[in-house]
Amino acid sequence: MSAAQRAASNMQQRQALLASAPRYTKNLGTFTSAGSTTRVKLFNVGVLTKLRLFVQVAVTIGVATAVASKKAPYNMISRLRLSDFDNTDRVNASGFQLFVWNCVRARTYYGANNESAVAVFTNPSVPTAVGAQTIAFFIEVPVAYDVDNPIVQLQDLRGSILSQTAVGEMYLSIDWNQSLVSVAGDVDSVYSGAGTTTVVPNGTNYISCQVWQDFLFPQNVGGQVPLPFDDLQTVYEAAGFVKSTDNIAVGQEKLLNYPNVRSVIGFYANYIQAGTLTQGAVGTLRVIANGNNIIQEDSELSQLFKQRLILNSDILPGVYFKSHRERPIETVLFGNVQLGMTPLTAGGGNQYVEVMTEAFWVKGTALPGLQQAG
C-alpha cells in the first residue's frame, strides 16, 4: 500500500468510526489525597479521546488576606502525567503548562466565562479572604488531537488510544503542590501575602479530584469494526515539566531546543524572573534552525500580539507560545531547531524558563528524550 493509499484508508476508517461510534463519558470517581500523589487507573474501554478533571482543595487562610499566585489555581497540580499501556508518556506537564495548552487548543482563555452572560458558577475559584475556603477548577487532559471540532469532516483522532483490551493498564498520575503559601511572593506557590498570612490544609484528605474519561465506543459496521490504524499509532505528545535555569543573563540569548524526530506544532515557554511572571522581561524571541536560519523573529510585543490574535484575548505576562499548527516544524527535515529568548531583566531569586512542546510522532520511532525536572 502506498503512502497515499494508506492515508486515504486511515481517513475512511476515521470517518466511519466517528459516524458510527457513540460518544461516552465515564465518571471514574472522586479521588482524595493528603497532598502527595493521586494515581487513577483508567478503564480499558473504547477509544480514549480525553480526560477531564475537577479539582477542589480545602484550605484555611489565616491572620491576613492572601494573594493568589499568577499561576493559581492551576499550579496546585505540580505535575500531571498520563502514560499509555507500554508506559509511553502522552502528557507530562505542570498544571500551569496544561492550562496554557488548554487555552491554545480552545483559542480562548480556557475555562472562564468569556462572554457577557451572567455566570451561573465560578470557575476557576481562588478565594483569598481569611477563613475556611475552597479552591476549585476544571482542567482537560487531551489525548486525541481534535475530536470536538464542530465541522465533523475536520475532526482529527490522531493520538487517540485503543483501550479495549484485557491486557495492560493505563494510569493518570497527579503530583500536588506542597507549597500553599510564600510570603516572598514566589509564583510557584499557590498563594502569597503579608508576612503574617498563613494558608494550611483544612482536613486530612483536603484535596479531591473527580475524573471523567471520554471515549468512542466502536460498533460493527458492515461486518467489521472501523479503526483508523495510523491515528491510533500516532502519539499526540505534550512533553513538559522541564525547568531550564542555566545561561539566563541580560542581553544574552538563551537557546531552548525543539525535540528531535517530531512534528512539532507548539512550543511553550514561561519566563519566571525574581519569582514571578513579568511583562517586559524579554526582548526578542526567535525560532532558529541549524544555528543561523532565522525562521521567525519577534519582539515581545509582536509575539504577544500574535498570541492575542490566536486567543482573542491576552494571557498572563511572561507566557509565550509559538504555534506551528498551520505548518508543523518537522525536525527531521529542519535539523536542529531552537527557540532563542533574550532577557531584558534577570537575577533576583527564583529564576527559570519553564518549557513544554506539543508534537506528533509515530509509535516505533526511536526518539531522543527531553531532560525532565526532578
Question: Could you read off the pLDDT tens digit of each residue along the chain, which spans 374 residues?
Answer: 788 999 999 999 999 999 999 999 999 999 999 999 999 999 999 999 999 999 999 999 999 999 999 999 999 999 999 999 999 999 999 999 999 999 999 999 999 888 878 888 888 999 999 999 999 999 999 999 999 999 888 999 999 999 998 888 999 999 999 999 998 889 999 999 888 999 999 999 999 999 999 999 999 988 999 999 999 999 999 999 999 999 999 999 999 999 999 999 999 999 999 999 999 999 999 999 998 899 999 999 999 999 999 999 999 999 999 999 999 999 988 889 999 999 999 987 889 999 999 999 998 755 454 444 43
Q: pLDDT at position 366, please?
A: 54
DSSP string, 328-349: -EEHHHH-SEEEEEEESS--SS
- Pair type for strands 89-93 and 234-244: parallel
Cα-based distances in Å from 226 to 124, 147, 153: 39, 16, 16
Q: 96, 83, 358, 80: which is closest to 239 by C-alpha?
A: 358
Sketch the domain layout of the chain as residue ranges.
Answer: 3-231, 245-362
Name the CATH topology of 3-231.
Adenovirus Type 2 Hexon; domain 4 (2.70.9)
Decide if domain 245-362 falls under CATH 2.60.120.20: yes
Output the pLDDT for position 372. 43
Amino acid 114: pLDDT: 85
Q: Global pTM? A: 0.94
Report the 3 state secondary structure along 195-250: CCCEEEECCCCCEEEEEEEEEECCCCECCECCCCHHHHHEEEEEEEEEEECCCCEC
